Every structure is written in structure tokens, then in C-alpha cells.
Amino acid sequence: MQRNPQLNANGELQHLLSIEGLPPEVLLQILDTAESFVGVTEREVKKVPLLRGKSVFNLFFEPSTRTRTTFEIAAKRLSADVINLNIAASSATKGESLLDTVANLSAMQADIFIVRHASSGAPFLIARHVKPHEHVVNAGDGRHAHPTQGLLDLYTIRHYKKDFSGLTVAIVGDVLHSRVARSLIHGLTTLGVPQVRVIGPQTLLPLGVEALGVRVFHDMRTGLRDCDVVVMLRLQNERMRGALLPSAQEFFKHYGLTEEKLAAARRDAIVMHPGPMNRGVEIDSTVADGPRSVILPQVTFGIAVRMAVMSIVAGN
Amino acid sequence: MRIHVRNGRVIDPATGRDAVADVYVADGKIAEEFARPDRVIDAKGLVVAPGFVDLAARLREPGFEYKATLESELEAAAAGGVTSLACPPDTDPPLDEPGLVDMLRRRAGALSRARVHPIGALTLKLEGVALTEMGQLTDAGCVAFSQGNHAMPDSQVLWRALQYAATFGYKVWLRAEDAALARGGVAHDGEMATRLGLPGIPPFAETIALGTLIELARATRARVHVCRLSSAGAVELVRRAKAEKLPLTCDVAIHHLHLSEMDLGYFDSHCRLEPPLRSQRDRDALSRALAEGVVDCLVSDHTPVDEDGKHLPFAEAEPGATGLELLLPLALKWGEAHQLPLAATLARITSEPARVLGVDAGRIAVGAPADLAIFDPRAAFQVSPQTLKSQGKNTPFLGYELAGRVRFTLLAGSVVYEG
């Protein structure tokens, strides 16, 4: 087996490509560092000079506004220079290869590449070919991983539940196509959450998902019973009708989170969603806007978590 | 050139003969003992075997010369001890008309590094719609008909193609993969694909297509060879079909014999192969089936890919791996694991594929073509781009320490490789 390509020879984080394979200490280091940055984001002058003089390239091969923006804000709060590249609309359409694009940007003195790509594993390929002082942060690759989202989910859970050791967490919906789900599952199992559940129809669960250390449920009421945390996944528009699901309405009937279904969870359960939400498809508005929803705090924590990741990789 | 090969351990897998002996070569054939040879090859400590027969080697001509050429790949064949090879029709254009086949045979013949047996396209442009002129293609030198790695999505066309081929006794070589079930998939639908977030190809994409193929073979009595088995389920289907004496044969590639989905590691695009590498259980079943003879032959599935084709995210990378030069060492590695006699191991890459191919090759006997591979079974080497003659340096075995190096390759009585 090859060495985990995201750790350097000292076992420190060189790139952040996936939560899988990272030791718990590294995850906790990121969460603790993020905690120290939450204060910064609430100050009047929201900047620290940790990445002054460094260049962060937002390399998005797949369109995204939300994630790109939070990375941009995080980098700017660390005083880095941020360059946004919407590759989908430039080089790729001109036939330039992925590695050529990266080599060109590398020649422009990049320090950190934030990469989003539609193909699973693309950031691994880039990480194998960048210079030793350059760092790659995966901002979502295909169905594979979205580690900063997973980390901000972990941060949110720790913020509200203080401790991972007694929790039951349910992840609901389209796990098959979800990089968010995969990253969160690895994070939760690494940090010792005793019960991680996935809930969805067979068509939206990967084959043999149990191997990731989760229990599979197909029914919301049994799956949500006594849960401390409920994570709803986004259902992509193109998956709402076809061979995977008959309709958004029918999905909502079975798996949409309503107050009534949520009643099966613990009374102090929190509800999370990586956004953007489809109200009335995976989540009912009364739940999304209700007292147990922590969906907006997730976004705020996301900036601190991304600041933590960038400052840690750049420091190693 | 009259050659005397002295003191080698002569193995003839067709008869099981395994003894230190001398071999004489004259006029391109194995000859009776004679005096005053033009050349003496000292084969002490070496194995003298029939030249290897590989049922699947892509030479990339015509159409993909930037990936490999006949020159480079036939050089690789000679270095690997492969003296007869069958090349799939998935070139560009595909081998669907006699002129192309004729040109390929002439070009390969002029290089005289290995005997090249083209496999003709079963359908025009490999589209799976209209039959090719199999009679004329046979006259041009095609030994069988195939879709290469292209799908055969229409079972009616498949049925008709098998009926037509059976009428004239043409052989049909096909991979078993249900195109609809495999659509979009790039890896075995198992634990690794789940972890890596790669779209999966379920094992029943193979068994369902194989079930169809076996039913149609039963109905038409066509001589079907199933290429590149990948799953334990497929092995069982073949076992049953053979038990009822259907004229069915099959092969497995070196990769599927030794590797599994776990070798994908961190998205190693060298493991992007067709069919996909499956579970360890599948690999073990294939390995056993080859030892039992349920699977008839071992093939290299040689597919040189240029660097640009592999320096891509896993799903976008071009499938295939170079293999001609690894056929022998990986056959030896497999045979050793099963503690098979060397003759039995070599049968899978000599006499058995020669039988499937229907050509006179893969045996050492007076009067047989003097195609020989003389090798040192213990000589170790590390697989690296430098040790490979093939233009394709893409193989999941890069970095492996393997044993088995060819020292001399003889084709029709001439030394075509010395290493």
C-alpha cells in the first residue's frame, strides 16, 4: 500500500485530500485551531496575518459559489492573496490538461491550491505533481470526499454536543452520490462516534456501505430513533426523477425531514444540512428554520475550519 | 541457420515432457539431431519452452501509433518470449475489412518478430449492428471474430452473429459485459468503489451477459471463447457450461490473476482496466480456476497507453496496461503459488492458447515450427519503465520484483531476441 499522500514524512498534514486515513490527533488539531479562529471572525477587524504574502489559488473545475466564497473569505482573513479561477469556463474547454493547468499556475508562485473537480481522485493526482512547498486542499472531488465540509460538520457537532463518545448520528438521503456523507462518516468513525447510521432507499446507498462502519436503515422512523444528530443530504435535481427515484414528492414522503419524523430522535437532537437546501424535498421548512436547526451556524463555523486547514498545511 | 540448443531443461507442455536435452533447429522447424550447426546456444540452467502464445495483445495499429507501433510492440513480444499473438480488432479504424487485415499482416510479417494473428471485427465498426464479411476476413487471415472492448448491446444481433459464425465454423471471442449494467462504471462495485466514490460495475454485469452468451452458444453451437473473466460468478457459469460439453473456452488476464480492487490504493490509474479489478475472493477464484483448467489460458491483455492517457483522474484515465513482457514472470508467480509443475504452468501460455487459436504452435516436437522461448526462471528483475521495451510503460506492476527473464527467443528458427 502506498503511503498516505496527504501526510508528510513527519506525519503532519501536507495536503488535505480526504478525512479517511487521518489520525484522530490531526482531526482534533484542526478542530481546536478552528475554535481559536471563531473569535477572529467575530471581531471588528477580522484578520490575522498568518498567510500574509502567500497566494491561495481557488481552482474550481466544477462550478460552485458557496464553497468557493467561504474559502475566499477564510483565505482573506488569514491575509493571503486569493486568486479565483473558474476553470470550467477557461482552460478545460480549450483542451488543456489538468496537470498542465496546475503546472502553469504553479509557475505563477502558488502556495495553496483549493481544488474542486467533478472526478473522484482529481486532487490526489494534483497533489502527486505539485512542488514540495505547495499544498492542495480538496474542496470536493466527484463522489469521493469533501473534507472541509466533513470537518465543519464535526466542528458543529462538537460545539453542540461537546463530546463524540456517546453519540448516535444519522445521515439521510443520497449517500451514493455524496462526498459530504463519505467525509463525515470517516470523521465520525475516526473520532469514536459509537453509532453512525445512513438512511435512504437502496438506490441511493452505495453497495456494501456497511464496510465504512455504518448501520443501514431504509425507514426514517426507525433510523432516527434516539439520534443526537441528524444530517440531511442534498438531493441533486437531476436525480429526482428517473431510475433512482420516481419523484421529489415521493422522496419527501419517505425521507423528507418533518417535525413528525424528527420526533423519533432525541429531544435535544440537532439538525444539519450542508446546503444548499431543497425545501420540501429533503427537509421541511418548519424543521430547517426550527429551534433544532444548526444549519446557519454550520456556515459560520465553515469559515473558521477552512482558516484552520489552510494555516495548518501552510505551516507544515 | 542451423541451431543447436544444448543442455537446456526442455519442457513441452503439450506432452508434459520435462527433461534436460538438446534441441536442434533447421529450416525454421525443430529437427532431428544433426552435426555442424551454424550456432550453438548454451542453455545450461535455462528452460527451453515453446514460444509463448498470447491471445490478447493490442499492437495499436492502425490508428493509435502515438501510443505504440508494431515495431515497438513486436520488439516487446520478442523480449517477452511471445512468438504468436492474437490482436483484438479495436483499432482505428477497426479490423472490419479485409484490406486492413491484409495490411496489418504484411507489416507484421515484414518485421518478423512474432506471428501476428488478427482477430476480425464481428460487426461493422464494432457498432454491434451489422455483421462483417467474415468469410473474406477469414481469407485475409483472421483467426476469430470479436468486439474487442466494445459492447454488444443487442442480443438479437449477438444471436444472429453466433448463428452465422457457427454455420461456417468461425470462432467468436467475446468479453461478457452487459453494457447497460456497466454504463458509467469504472471500478468493481465493491468496498473500494464505495470508499473512493467511483461509479461501480457490479459483478452481475458480467454474469448476466455470460449467461446470455452461454444460452446462445448452446442454441447455435457456435465456438465461443470468453475473454477476460473477472468474477467468481463467471467462473462457476463456465464450469457448468463445460460440464455439459459446450464448445466453450475462456481466458483470464495477468492483472486479474494477481490484483484486486484493493490495488486501486489512492486512485492509481494504472489499475484502470477493462474489465475492472474485482474483489480478492474473485481473484482467488480465477486463480484456482486457471489451475483446475476451468479457465483455459492466461493472457497479457497488452494495452499500451501513453502517459497523457494515464495522467488523469481515475475515471477519465484510459483503460489498459502493458503486459507482453510480464506474461512469463506473472505466469511463473502464479504457478509457484499453486505449486504446479512448470509444464502445467507453461501450458496456460503455450499449448492451451495454441489450441484455442487453432494454429500449430505451443509445442516442441520434431517437425513443429521452431518457435522457442529460452528463459531463466529464477532471474529476478524489477519492473520499471527502463526494463520495458513496450512503448507503453503503464502497468500496475511497476516496482514489483519478479522472477523469469527471457534470454533467447527463436521465431521460425531465427534468433529474434537475445537478452
Q: What is the pTM (predicted TM-score) of this model? A: 0.94
Tens digit of pLDDT for each residue in B245-283? Answer: 999 999 999 999 999 999 999 999 999 999 999 999 999
User: Is-contact B312 A98, C-beta < 8 A?
Assistant: yes
Residue of B nearest to A209 (CA): B194
Strands of chain A, DSSP E: 55-60, 81-86, 112-117, 135-141, 168-172, 195-199, 215-217, 229-232, 270-272
Tens digit of pLDDT for each residue in A206-232? Answer: 988 999 999 999 999 999 999 999 999
Q: Which of residues 168-207 of B touch A (CB under 8 A)?
A: 189-191, 193-200, 202
pLDDT of B339 strictly over 70: yes
Q: Which of A5, A122, A207 sits opposite B190 (nearest CB)?
A: A207
pLDDT, position B344: 98
Dihedral in degrees, nearest 10, Cα atoms B353, B356, B357, B358: 120
CB contact under 8 Å between B197 and A120, yes or no, is yes
Residue of B nearest to A207 (CA): B190
Reference B301, options B278, B273, B329; nearest CA is B273
B310: how many CB neighbours lie within 10 A of its CB? 21
CB contact under 8 Å between B314 and A182, yes or no, is no
Residues of chain A with Cβ-Cβ distance to B312 below 8 Å are 97-98, 125
B280: how many CB neighbours lie within 10 A of its CB? 13
Q: What is the interface size between A and B, counted as CB pairs within 8 Å?
A: 76
Classify B18 in phi/psi space as left (phi over 0), alpha (psi -120 to 50) or beta: beta
Mutate to test the interface with B, among A61, A143, A202, A209 (most CBs of B within 10 A): A143
CB contact under 8 Å between A211 and B265, yes or no, is no
Q: Distance (Å) from the C-alpha of residue B392 to the closest C-alpha of chain A?
A: 20
pLDDT, position A85: 85
pLDDT, position A101: 87
Q: Which of A260-264, B59-63, B332-336 has the lowest mean pLDDT?
A: B59-63
> Is residue B93 less than 8 Å (CB to CB) from chain A?
no
CB contact under 8 Å between A211 and B194, yes or no, is yes
Residues of chain B with Cβ-Cβ distance to A97 below 8 Å are 308, 311-312
User: Is-contact A125 A149, C-beta < 8 A?
Assistant: no
Q: Which of residues 119-158 of B touch A (CB under 8 A)?
A: none
CB contact under 8 Å between A121 and B200, yes or no, is no
Cβ burial A197-213 (10 Å sphere, 16+ → b, else e): bbbbbeebbbbbbeebe
> Is residue B315 less than 8 Å (CB to CB) from chain A?
yes
CB contact under 8 Å between A98 and B200, yes or no, is no
pLDDT of B164 strictly over 60: yes
Of these ranges, A34-43, A103-112, B57-66, B387-396, the one predicted with the greatest mean pLDDT is: B387-396
CB contact under 8 Å between B194 and A179, yes or no, is no
pLDDT, position A1: 46
pLDDT of A93 strictly over 70: no
User: Is-contact B322 B301, C-beta < 8 A?
Assistant: no
Residues of chain B with Cβ-Cβ distance to A120 below 8 Å are 196-198, 267, 313-315
The dihedrals phi and psi of A182, each to the nearest 5 degrees, come to -60, -45
Residues of chain A with Cβ-Cβ distance to B266 below 8 Å are 2, 4-5, 121, 124
Reference A228, options A160, A162, A169; nearest CA is A169
> Is residue B61 less than 8 Å (CB to CB) from chain A?
no
Q: Distance (Å) from the C-alpha of residue A127 to the closest C-alpha of chain B?
A: 11
Q: Distance (Å) from the C-alpha of residue B105 to the closest C-alpha of chain A?
A: 36
User: Is-contact B88 B110, C-beta < 8 A?
Assistant: no
Which residue matches cell numbers 419524523?
A261
State how far the Cα of A47 lies from the Cα of A40, in Å rounded to an integer. 7
Task: Please report the sign of the dihedral spanned by the C-alpha atoms of residue A198, residue A202, residue A203, residue A206.
Answer: positive
3-state secondary structure of B372: strand
Q: How far is CA B101 from the centre of its chain?
A: 19
- The stretch B127-135 carries a mean pLDDT of 97
> Is residue B312 less than 8 Å (CB to CB) from chain A?
yes
Reference A232, options A305, A167, A298; nearest CA is A298
Q: Which of B196, B197, B313 sits opposite A125 (nearest CB)?
A: B313
Residue B263 annotated to the active site: no
State how far the Cα of B377 lies from the Cα of B316, in Å rounded to an integer. 38
Tens digit of pLDDT for each residue in B383-403? Answer: 999 999 999 999 999 999 999
User: Is-contact B149 B121, C-beta < 8 A?
Assistant: no
- The stretch A289-307 carries a mean pLDDT of 96
Q: Distance (Å) from the C-alpha of residue A33 to the closest C-alpha of chain B?
A: 28
Q: Distance (Å) from the C-alpha of residue B307 to the closest C-alpha of chain A?
A: 12
Confidence of residue A242 (pLDDT cuts 50, 70, 90): confident
Residues of chain B with Cβ-Cβ distance to A141 below 8 Å are 197, 313
Reference A72, options A57, A61, A62; nearest CA is A57
CB contact under 8 Å between A145 and B268, yes or no, is no
**Residue A136 cell numbers, joined:** 492542495
Residues of chain A with Cβ-Cβ distance to B313 below 8 Å are 98, 117, 119-122, 125, 141-142
Tens digit of pLDDT for each residue in B191-219? Answer: 999 999 999 999 999 999 999 999 999 99
Residue of B nearest to A206 (CA): B194
Confidence of residue A97 (pLDDT cuts 50, 70, 90): confident
Tens digit of pLDDT for each residue in A255-296? Answer: 999 999 999 999 999 999 999 999 999 999 999 999 999 999
State how far the Cα of A280 lies from the Cα of A268, in Å rounded to an integer. 23
Strands B372-382, B401-411: pairing kind: antiparallel
Cβ burial A69-91 (10 Å sphere, 16+ → b, else e): ebbbbbbbbbebebeebebbeeb
Q: How far is CA A94 from the centre of its chain?
A: 30
Catalytic residue among B251, B301, B306, B308: B301
Mutate to test the interface with B, among A100, A138, A144, A174 (most CBs of B within 10 A): A144
Q: Distance (Å) from the C-alpha of residue A44 to the closest C-alpha of chain B?
A: 41
Strands B47-50, B372-382: pairing kind: antiparallel
- The stretch A127-152 carries a mean pLDDT of 96
State how far the Cα of B354 lies from the Cα of B299, in Å rounded to an integer. 12
**Using N-to-C axis directions, what is the helix angle for B204-220 and B232-243, rounded to 10°?**
20
Q: Distance (Å) from the C-alpha of residue A156 to the closest C-alpha of chain B?
A: 24
Residue of A nearest to B189 (CA): A207
> Is residue B13 less than 8 Å (CB to CB) from chain A?
no
Mutate to test the interface with B, among A120, A124, A175 (most CBs of B within 10 A): A120
- The stretch A141-156 carries a mean pLDDT of 98
pLDDT of A89 strictly over 80: no
